[in-house]
Each structure stands twice: as C-alpha cells, then as structure tokens.
Structure 1
Amino acid sequence: MMNLYSGTTCPFSHRCRIVLYEKQMDFQVIDVDLFNKPEDIAVINPYNRVPVLVDRDLVLYEANIINEYIDERFPHPQLMPPDPQTRARARQLLFTMEHELFSYIDPLEKNAKSADKARAHVRD
C-alpha cells in the first residue's frame, strides 16, 4: 500500500490526493502538521516539504512528479491526454494554475492584510 504524507491545507497535497482518488488507488494518507512536521519528513524529503509518496522502496516528493508517476504506473483511467501536444498543454495549464492561483493561498492563510490584498488581486 502506498503512503501519502500530506498537509491538510497544502494545495499540492490535495492535487496528489485527487489523482490517487481518481485512480481508485489503495493508499493511506498520513496527515502532517505543516507547522510542526515530524522528523521523518526531513529524512525522506531533503526539502522537508509535503507531499511525499512512499510506494514500497520508492520515495517521491513534489506533486507534479508524484502525479506523473501515478498516472504512468497505473494507466487506467488515464488522466493526462494521450497525445504529446495536448498533454503539453495540460501541463502548461497546471503550471499556470500553480504559479498564478496557488501563489495567493499562503497570504490568505497567514494574515488579514495580505488576505485582503490577495482576494482583490484574484477578483481583478
């Protein structure tokens, strides 16, 4: 069984959870307190971040790498488009979403002044 070390408020962790659920995989979520991480996270991920996927003796970190691995290892149902050009466009969309949308999540969580500014920017 695969283990996914995941932060409950981490959007990257949520992306991995969604992929695993869509693939109907048998996996265990290990919720990690992002403000008080257990030492094992630093041992298995040199960047000390989540998500981290442990599949037997394979340890993967970073959401895009984890999701590509899952989609390639378990091809049905296929989540990425089959042809290279459309797949590249899908990856570009994920990249844009990651950089444009996810950049506002931290400010929304941290303090009210930053949250108001982030909300206004997203609305515009």
Structure 2
Amino acid sequence: MNLDCSVLLTRLEEQTPALKKDRLLKPQGTEEILDSLREDLKNIAFAVLIRPVLIQSPDKGAWPILRAATDPSAAGAQYYGPDGFQQAKGHPIVVRSSAASYDSDTQRQLWEISEKLTGVAFPV
C-alpha cells in the first residue's frame, strides 16, 4: 500500500487524542474513561481502516465536477461520477444521476430556492 506523508500525518492526528487520553486517564480506571476510549478507538478504526476503502479523498471527490467543467466533450445534462463500486470511488465517467434529479417539481423547487439564496433570477 502506498501512503503519502499527508495520510500518515492525518492518521497520527486522529490517533493522538485517544492515546493521550489513555496514557493520562487509564490509571484512574473509571468506566466512563474506558467508554470514551472505546468510542475514540472505533472512530480511529473507521478513519484508518474503513474510510479509505469506501470513500475517496476530497481532492479526488472534486474530479467529477472538474471534468464536467473542463471536458470539451461534456454535453448539457450529463452527470459525472466515480466509476467505482456504487459510484463511491474512482475516476469520473458519465453516470446516471439520482431518480429525484429527474423530477420536474424537485427541479423547479431547487431552481426557485437557488434564485432566492443567490439573489439572481434567470428567466427559464
């Protein structure tokens, strides 16, 4: 497995609070401290072992948007997403968007909310 320095630093930052808590508080032996440590260790296990398998990094998560914005062959109404399992990871490809995105009432409501929030109206 290839790990870069930023990944190792992130893992260290995630592990440090639990390890420090263990070192400082374990001699007291209270059940609350042990429960807190268990929760911290579960979070660390998820962050270190499971999250990298299921979810891609934020920079790779931006790839589909960047491809849609910069690919000269991109067409209107195309939707890009990762090519991996359940579109959770991978390189950007044209994929089908969610069923809700095809609902005309949902589209209209989202458009109206966007106009209100931005203060910009486009005649459609």
TM-score when normalising by structure 1: 0.29
TM-score when normalising by structure 2: 0.29
Which protein has greater RCO, CA pairs closer than 8 Å, 6+ apart? 1
Query: Which of the two has higher C-alpha Rg?
Result: 2
Give the number of the structure whose residues are more often helix, by fraction: 2
